[in-house]
Amino acid sequence: MTEVLGFEGVRVRRGDNEILRDVSWTVSDRDRWVVLGPNGAGKTTLMSIAAARLFPTAGRATVLGEQLGETDTRELRVRVGLSSAALADRIPPHETVRNVVMTAAHGVTGRWHEDYDGLDEDRADALLWAFGMADFAQREFGTLSEGERKRVQVARALMPDPELLLLDEPAAGLDLGGREELLGALSELAGDHRSPAIVMVTHHVEEIPVGFTHVMLLRDGQIVAAGPLAETLTAEALSRTYGMPVELTSSSGRYAARRA
Ligand SMILES: Nc1ncnc2c1ncn2[C@@H]1O[C@H](COP(=O)(O)OP(=O)(O)OP(=O)(O)O)[C@@H](O)[C@H]1O
Ligand SMILES: [Mg+2]
């Protein structure tokens, strides 16, 4: 087992605002984490540190064995696959879907003068196929529906064969069918021993893919609970996280929650 992320007493401060407070967290290569918490809890901030795009104000964060602040983060960033709304906003709308995926091999969002070979193209096409987007390879990214875009973003995040895959709300905006298809693809990924470590942020326990192993519950920048999914995701912990009584049910590895 190799440590992929190691956070020790991580704090992020913006002015008077403490966005992350004393977060200590370890992710190993076989882990598949889901991060839950209310709006503003600090989930995206946590992902930015994990993606080596933001440094802690205090504490220590190690990403793929490299301590942030003591390493060349450009090299580190290409080893981490990230899918987030902020990154999607930077994709040129006229770029073809295949190029949107393929350019991730060079850590850029639009095609310019980089060299790609047949292997890059084959890999991009295989990933598009895996996420049900093979027929869209030549379409312009800007013409896709929200759900189609989400699937392309996950394919793109996997393109550089990352050692860590970070998905910030990958199922947001998807209809029932689209969500279930994406969760199916993520379950397959989670179950494959060749897959990288995965951390996925979501707002809904219904979106936890079968096969995910760990959960972090975050509130006001602090960890409420973190650990193996089955024993950590409880009605009591969710109630503390959301500040209201929550009822939790599970069936065949899937969860559902509502106000108690
Ligand atoms: N650059 C910044 N300057 C000031 N405050 C910030 C900055 N970035 C984030 N914040 C604040 O930090 C808090 C956490 O933000 P973050 O985006 O990490 O939350 P989140 O858990 O991802 O929320 P959501 O579920 O709405 O996506 C929010 O209150 C946000 O307003
Ligand atoms: Mg967020």
User: Tens of pLDDT along 138-177?
Assistant: 999 999 988 899 999 999 999 999 999 999 999 998 889 8
Question: Ligand 1 within 6 A of 222 CB?
Answer: no
- Residues near ion ligand 2 (Cβ under 5 Å): 43-44
C-beta 45 within 6 A of ligand 1 = yes
Which atom of ligand 1 has the smallest separation from the CA of 218? 21
Pocket test for ligand 1, best of 10, 45, 219, 242 (most atoms within 8 A of CB): 45
Q: Is 84 in the pocket of ligand 1 (CB under 6 A)?
A: no
Confidence at residue 118, expressed as pLDDT on a 0 to 100 scale: 76
Cα(147)–Cα(250) distance, integer angstroms: 25
Q: Got the DSSP string for 67-96?
A: ETTSS-HHHHHTTEEEE-HHHHTTS-TTSB
Arithmetic mean of pLDDT, 1-18: 95
Exposed/middle/buried for residue 28 (C-beta within 10 Å: 0-12, 13-18, 19+) = middle
The closest residue, in CA terms, to atom 13 on ligand 1 is: 40
Least-confidence region, from 52-56, 72-76, 96-100, 187-191: 72-76
Query: Once rounded to an integer, what is the mean pLDDT over residues 228-234?
Result: 97
Q: What sign results for the dihedral spanned by CA atoms 23, 219, 33, 156?
A: negative
pLDDT band at 186 (very low <50, low <70, confident <90, very high): very high
If you measure from the C-alpha of residue 118 to the centroid of ligand 1, how many angstroms do you get, rounded to a whole number?
A: 40
Give the distance (Å) from ligand 2 centre to CA of residue 235. 23
Q: How confident is the model over 39-79, as pLDDT tens digits?
A: 999 999 999 999 999 999 999 999 999 999 998 888 898 89
- pTM passes above 0.85: yes
Establish whether residue 36 lines the binding site of ligand 1, counting it when its CB lies within 6 angstroms of any ligand atom: no
Given the CA of residue 19, which atom of ligand 1 is nearest to it? 12
Q: Is the distance from the beta carbon of residue 42 to the nearest atom of ligand 1 less than 6 Å?
A: yes
Quick check: 166 and 127 in contact, CB under 8 A?
A: no
Ligand 1 center from residue 143 Cα (angstroms)? 29
Do 124 and 159 meet the contact criterion of CB atoms below 8 Å apart? yes
Give the type of residue at 215.
Answer: V
Distance CA 234, CA 248 (A): 7
**Closest by Cα among 206, 210, 172 to 191:** 210
Which single residue is written with the structure tokens 């093979």? 134
| Distance set, CA 127 to CA 86, 140, 200, 214 (Å) | 22, 17, 18, 25
For residue 258, count CB atoms less than 10 angstroms from its CB and return exposed for 0-12, middle for 13-18, buried for 19 or more.
exposed
Given this model, what pLDDT does residue 113 score?
A: 63
- The pLDDT, as a whole number, for residue 23 is 98
Residue 6 makes CB contacts below 8 A (sequence gap 6+) with 25, 26, 27, 60, 61, 62
Helices 118-130 and 146-158, packing angle to 10 deg: 130
Q: From the CA atom positions of the chain, what is the Rg in Å?
A: 18
